[in-house]
């Protein structure tokens, strides 16, 4: 149902999208629309499956619209970069638009194995590119003895300032300006003390 709605939305409103990234709309597993570049025209972010049995991860494709052209242009293409799938419940990637013009990209494993986790990147448009402005991570061990704080971890970090909280305590690291295409989870994990 979700892919059918996405296909209808894209085919009705945004016919150039499928050809710009060279994938059909039925490969879309998550999408969000917002004004990423704050020019008053809605933009689009899409997570799409690789579309084959290659074993590759999903890709993220971000489009911006030029107000005078009334069409979307591919601004960022990162195939094979987003973990998750639709085969197993609790492993679907998610996208959500934020009121400030940023969007979140969430990956998770909430269904398989002992260690369950959820990670969100807050992505913002700065200097004509997409950067990681925030990193949020939480996890819990489903069979840890005693439960409580020994079974959970959490971190909420502002990457641009290097400041945040991990396990309820303040953490501070180097303020960074990291392009989404250059992001490695170890950047956030190391400041949060999760490694």
DSSP 5-71: HHHHHHHHH-TTHHHHHT--GGGEEEEEEE-TT-SSS-EEEEEE--SSSS-PPEEEEEEEEETTTTE
Q: Starting at the edge strand that comes first in sequence, how are the strands of the sheet with 43-48 ordered?
A: 28-34, 43-48, 58-66, 71-82
Of residues 175, 180, 151, the one with CA closest to residue 162:
175
As a whole number, the mean pLDDT across the chain is 85
The predicted pLDDT at position 2 comes to: 42
Q: Please give the pLDDT value at position 149.
A: 54
Q: Give yes or no for residue 9 having a pLDDT over 70.
A: no
- Structural contact between residues 59 and 74, judged by C-beta atoms closer than 8 angstroms: no
Helix (H) or strand (E) holding 189: helix 185-192
Q: Is the pLDDT of residue 41 over 80?
A: yes
Query: Which pTM value belongs to this model?
Result: 0.83
pLDDT of residue 74: 95
Distance separating alpha carbons of residues 154 and 163, to the nearest angstrom: 14
pLDDT tens for 53-89 read: 777 889 999 999 988 887 899 999 999 899 888 777 8
The pLDDT tens digits for 137-179 are: 999 888 876 655 557 899 999 999 999 999 999 999 999 999 9
């Amino acid at each position: 149902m979700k892919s059918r709605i996405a296909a209808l939305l894209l085919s009705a409103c945004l016919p150039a999208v499928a050809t710009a990234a060279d994938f059909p709309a039925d490969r879309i597993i998550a999408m969000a629309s917002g004004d990423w570049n704050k020019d008053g025209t809605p933009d689009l972010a899409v997570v799409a499956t690789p579309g084959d049995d290659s074993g590759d991860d999903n890709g993220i494709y971000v489009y911006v619209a030029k107000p005078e052209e009334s069409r979307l242009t591919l601004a960022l293409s990162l195939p094979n970069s987003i973990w998750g799938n639709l085969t197993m419940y609790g492993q679907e990637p998610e996208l959500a638009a934020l009121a400030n013009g940023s969007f979140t990209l969430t990956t998770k494993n909430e269904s398989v194995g002992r260690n369950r986790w959820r990670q969100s990147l807050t992505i913002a448009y700065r200097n004509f590119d997409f950067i990681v402005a925030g990193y949020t991570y939480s996890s819990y061990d489903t069979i840890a003895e005693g439960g409580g704080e020994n079974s959970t971890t959490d971190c909420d970090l502002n990457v641009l300032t290097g400041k945040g909280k991990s396990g309820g305590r303040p953490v501070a690291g180097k303020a960074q300006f990291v392009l989404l295409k250059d992001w490695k989870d170890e950047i956030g994990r190391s400041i949060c003390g999760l490694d």
